[in-house]
């Protein structure tokens, strides 16, 4: 009988502990929602201009502009979503066989990046500080789905994109809400690469600079 009472007692304690944990989770979620509704999360917007030059076996250059809209969750954390336009230029090898190319290939194209953006501020909000920015999403090749590069071409219309940047954040207002951001950036795009009737997966890697304005 004592064992039964002990088991029931432990079960009741477990129920109360679980209820307390659930209450704590619900309470935290409610507080976050209340903070968002009451304006604790501040709206932020960015306009970003960047240029990256191709490196590696498959080389393409990207000159782009994008905008990001989102919320500042803390002085050190911003999360948002962005949309941009990239002008892509590539080159073909002097030894490339023109018969390997589809008649619709080209060495200049336009891509539309669509991504989520995570931006971390390291240091004060009202004084110059460092930032880390990570964009991740997809990039879409507009028009004909072929872009000639080196001895072959990339094909397809959808590409995975990863674009981290690091640099200096310079406030342009006393409150720190507006600032200029200058940094170095790296971009990776996955792609399918056709070369002499071979279809292989590949990556387009590029490194360059970025300048953005925050409000």
CATH topology (fold) of 41-214: Porin (2.40.160)
Tokens 């207002």 belong to which residue?
Answer: 173
Average pLDDT over residues 80-102: 77
pLDDT value, residue 22: 47
Parallel, antiparallel or unpaired: strands 108-122 and 179-195:
unpaired
- Side-chain-side CA neighbours of 16 within 13 Å: the count stands at 6
Residue 96 has pLDDT above 90, yes or no: no
pLDDT, tens only, 170-204? 999 888 889 999 999 999 999 888 777 777 788 99
The enclosing H or E element of 8 equals: helix 2-37
For the chain, which residues make up each domain, given as ranges?
Answer: 1-40, 41-214
E strands within 56-107? 60-74, 77-90
pLDDT value, residue 130: 96
% residues pLDDT > 90 (the chain): 48
Split at pLDDT 50, 70, 90, the class of 125 is confident
pLDDT value, residue 136: 97
Q: Which of 195, 192, 190 is nearest to 93 (CA)?
A: 195
């Amino acid at each position: 009988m004592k064992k039964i009472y002990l088991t029931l007692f432990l079960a009741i304690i477990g129920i109360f502990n679980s209820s307390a944990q659930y209450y704590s989770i619900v309470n935290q979620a409610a507080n976050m929602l209340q903070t968002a509704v009451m304006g604790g999360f501040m709206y932020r917007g960015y306009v970003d201009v960047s240029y990256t030059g191709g490196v590696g076996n498959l080389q393409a250059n990207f000159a782009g502009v994008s905008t990001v809209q989102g919320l500042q969750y803390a002085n050190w954390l911003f999360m948002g979503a962005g949309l941009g336009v990239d002008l892509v230029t590539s080159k073909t090898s002097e030894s490339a066989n023109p018969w390997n190319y589809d008649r619709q290939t080209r060495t200049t194209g336009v891509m539309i990046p669509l991504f989520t953006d995570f931006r971390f501020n390291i240091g004060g909000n009202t004084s110059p500080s460092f930032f880390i920015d990570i964009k991740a999403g997809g990039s879409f090749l507009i028009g004909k789905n072929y872009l000639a590069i080196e001895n072959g071409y990339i094909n397809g219309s959808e590409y995975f994109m990863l674009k981290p940047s690091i640099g200096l954040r310079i406030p342009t207002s006393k409150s720190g809400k507006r600032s200029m951001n200058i940094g170095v950036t790296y971009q990776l795009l996955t792609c399918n690469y056709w070369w002499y009737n071979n279809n292989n997966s590949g990556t387009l890697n590029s490194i360059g600079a970025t300048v953005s304005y925050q409000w």
